[in-house]
Amino acid sequence: MRRILRAVIGCIGFVCAAAALTPAFAQNWPTRPVRVIIPLTAGAATDIMARAVFDQVSQQVGQPFIVENRPGAGNTIGMAAVAQADPDGYTILANSSTHTVSPATRSKLPFNVITDLSGVIPLGNMPVVMAVNPKKGYKTLADFVDYARKNPGAVNYASAGAGNSSHLNGERFRIAAKFEAVHVPQRGAPEALTEVIAGRLDFYFAPLLNSITFLREGTLQALAVSGSQRASALPDVPTTVEAGYPNSEYNFWAGVFVPAKTPGAIRDRLHAEIVKALKHPVLAERLAKLGADPFMITPAQFDALVKQEIEVNTALVKAAGIVVN
């Protein structure tokens, strides 16, 4: 009995000591390079934003943040790599809001988005524009919808991949506006934009960060913004709801995640460093020029947002009849 009592007391002491050391450990983190996995192609909106933010974070903490692009399977290849990584703060995920689409479109994931990955913070809300080739001659969104309704099956649209958030964005608007369109998935955002600019595909719900240069040059035209509010960089472009299509809004963000068992103190430290980076004047100005709007919430609020969006996307996938696997 004495031996058992001593063992129990020893375990309690170890747990208490570990708990006391955790905050200090987090303050020392990171002591070596951190790997940032992005499950999208280089040049995607999330990739551009994440590289900019983590460059600033790297300067703040004195350790490199090494970006590794792992695109494919609707972002789930990169997501799985992080979900199954050691929860030590040295492998993190920077993902788009496709993060909340994957559970709805893919039934055989090797991980659980809610229980195996924890949210840290969104890097920003990225307005998405319904981009078309200006040579098509549409003056308003209503012009486009009118054409699509009168020519069923003649319209097609691009996405950054089957099951990607841009795929669901296109379907949500198509259903709300009541027209038929053929989905033509591309490898990523750059490829989707190229097809619309070339006139081979009719429209693409493009992140403003990727499309803003083409919009300014006049090689693309924005008929509407798909989010809940207008983009600060395009104040004269209405939302799809303002243009007359209820239940068509679709918000797009980029955010940071860690393996779920990562110590809370490390997650909080990473959150604090990213907030500091996002408030840095140079980075804030750069992101604003790219059309990204601040979206700073707590890890708990981010986890709650993810759960809510998974429910919404699951209902949308069923309504649209989307089948990926």
pLDDT of 2 strictly over 60:
no
CATH number at residue 142: 3.40.190.10
Q: What per-residue confidence (pLDDT) applies to 153?
A: 85
Is residue 170 a part of any domain in this protein?
yes
DSSP type of residue 7: H
Same-domain status, 206 and 161: yes
% of the chain at pLDDT higher than 70: 91
Kindly state whether residues 168 and 113 are assigned to the same domain.
no
**Residue 111 covered by a domain:** yes
pTM over 0.85: no
Residues 118, 146: one domain? no
Q: What is the per-residue pLDDT across 257-288, written as a single tens digit (0 to 9) for each?
A: 999 999 999 999 999 999 999 999 999 999 88
Q: Which residues contact 297 (CB under 8 A, 6 or more apart)?
A: 121, 122, 305
In the chain, how many domains are there?
2
Residues 99 and 37 in one domain: yes
- Examine residue 11 and state whether it is found in any structural domain, yes or no: no
- Closest listed residue to residue 44, CA positions, set 252, 226, 259: 252
**Same domain (yes/no): 149, 219:** yes
Residue 106 carries which side chain, given as an amino acid letter? Answer: R
- Domain membership flag for residue 325: no
210: domain range?
A: 128-225
Boundary (domain end) residue, out of 173, 207, 225: 225
**How does pLDDT run across 25-55, given as a tens digit for each residue?**
556 899 999 999 999 989 888 999 999 999 9
